[in-house]
């Protein structure tokens, strides 16, 4: 497909930094956006998602949006509302008003974080499993997915909502052996989500082809995503350090891991 101009929000973050290195090789020309300056990128737009006018200006003229910006961990409800609820609403309103037809939304495993991890022999977690957010953060991702559905049904703005597992250069622990999305596979998945035709609103799980996979990648593969990585080479070292997950420990037996049991974060 022809190169596409893509607005990459959250470009200063961990994933944004990895993706602005990897996505141009797929022919996408990136416009960068973050509330923080993006190192080495003086042309990046530095603005807050809470500023609807700035968001509208940022999306003007792009073909598609990869929306990574927002609070990426648990935080007081008011902060989550500002960045992840109002922010994502501003983004979709801007897309509607400016005629941007495709969004790729960084959802999270924490939208379904209370879902039990499958035991050996259990079926993989399907993509239509009910929302079971484990935090206000996860709740904001459930909201983002529903907003994406509304903007498809009502306004014809298409979205691929990617429930990202755990995307870092290496898996961060034993739980991440099941959820790891290698940065290279993340770029493959985002490219597929940007270029697949007629996605309407499609929800996919975002991980590599891990041996210890917990969820069903069928809807991601249907976009043309072909993962090439597997966390298994990291397994021996991580298991020697941490041991197997304990199925009787609530912090280790649900998809969201410790997000399920961490004490709530209230406003100061």
Based on the shown chain and the rule CB under 6 A, indicate whether residue 182 belongs to the binding site for ligand 15L.
no
Q: 26 vs 168, which CB is nearer to ligand 15L?
A: 168
Task: Determine the Cα–Cα distance for residues 144 and 167; give it in Å rounded to an integer.
Answer: 19
Catalytic residue among 26, 92, 137, 151: 137
Query: What is the enclosing helix (H) or strand (E) of 41?
Result: none
Question: Binds 95, which of ligand NAI, ligand 15L, none (CB < 5 to 8 A, cut-off by type)?
Answer: none
Residue 116 phi, psi dihedral angles, 5° rounding: -65, 140
Q: 74 vs 230, which CB is nearer to ligand 15L?
A: 74
Question: Binds 16, which of ligand 15L, ligand NAI, none (CB < 5 to 8 A, cut-off by type)?
Answer: ligand NAI
Task: Determine the Cα–Cα distance for residues 49 and 33; give it in Å rounded to an integer.
Answer: 9
* Residue whose C-alpha is closest to residue 92's, from 83, 78, 103, 77: 103
Based on the shown chain and the rule CB under 6 A, indicate whether residue 202 belongs to the binding site for ligand 15L.
no
Based on the shown chain and the rule CB under 6 A, indicate whether residue 108 belongs to the binding site for ligand 15L.
yes
By the criterion CB under 6 A, which residues form the site for ligand NAI? 10, 12-16, 34-36, 48-50, 68-72, 83, 87, 106, 108, 164, 166-167
Residue given tokens 């034993």 in the structure block: 174
Q: In the annotation, is 114 catalytic?
A: no
DSSP label of 61 = T
Q: In what order do the strands lie in the sheet with 158-164?
A: 45-46, 28-34, 4-9, 64-67, 102-108, 158-164, 201-206
Shortest distance, CB of residue 157 to ligand 15L, whole angstroms? Answer: 23
Based on the shown chain and the rule CB under 6 A, indicate whether residue 9 belongs to the binding site for ligand 15L.
no
User: What residues are annotated to the active site?
Assistant: 137
- Which positions touch ligand 15L (CB under 6 A)? 72-73, 108-110, 166, 176
């Amino acid at each position: 497909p022809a190169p596409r101009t893509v607005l990459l929000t959250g470009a200063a973050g961990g994933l944004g930094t990895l993706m602005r290195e990897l996505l141009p090789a797929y022919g996408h020309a990136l416009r960068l956006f973050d509330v923080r300056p993006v190192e080495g990128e003086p042309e990046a737009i530095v603005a807050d998602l809470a500023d609807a006018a700035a968001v509208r200006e940022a999306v003007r003229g792009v073909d598609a949006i990869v929306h990574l910006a927002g609070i990426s961990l648990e935080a007081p409800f008011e902060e989550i509302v500002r960045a992840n609820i109002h922010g994502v609403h501003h983004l979709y309103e801007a897309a509607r008003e400016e005629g941007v037809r495709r969004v790729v939304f960084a959802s999270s495993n924490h939208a379904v974080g209370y879902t039990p991890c499958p035991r050996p022999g259990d079926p993989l977690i399907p993509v239509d499993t009910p929302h079971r957010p484990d935090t206000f953060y996860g709740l904001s991702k459930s909201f983002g997915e529903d907003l994406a559905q509304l903007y498809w049904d009502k306004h014809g703005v298409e979205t691929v909502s990617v429930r990202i597992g755990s995307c870092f250069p290496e898996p961060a622990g034993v739980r991440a052996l099941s959820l790891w999305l290698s940065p290279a596979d993340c770029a493959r998945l985002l490219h597929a989500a940007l270029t697949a035709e007629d996605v309407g609103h499609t929800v996919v799980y975002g991980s590599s082809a891990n041996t210890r996979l917990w969820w069903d990648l069928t809807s991601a593969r249907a976009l043309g995503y072909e993962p090439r990585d597997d966390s298994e080479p990291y397994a021996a070292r991580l298991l020697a350090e941490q041991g197997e997950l304990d199925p009787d420990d609530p912090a280790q037996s649900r998809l969201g891991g410790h997000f399920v049991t961490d004490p709530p974060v209230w406003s100061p």
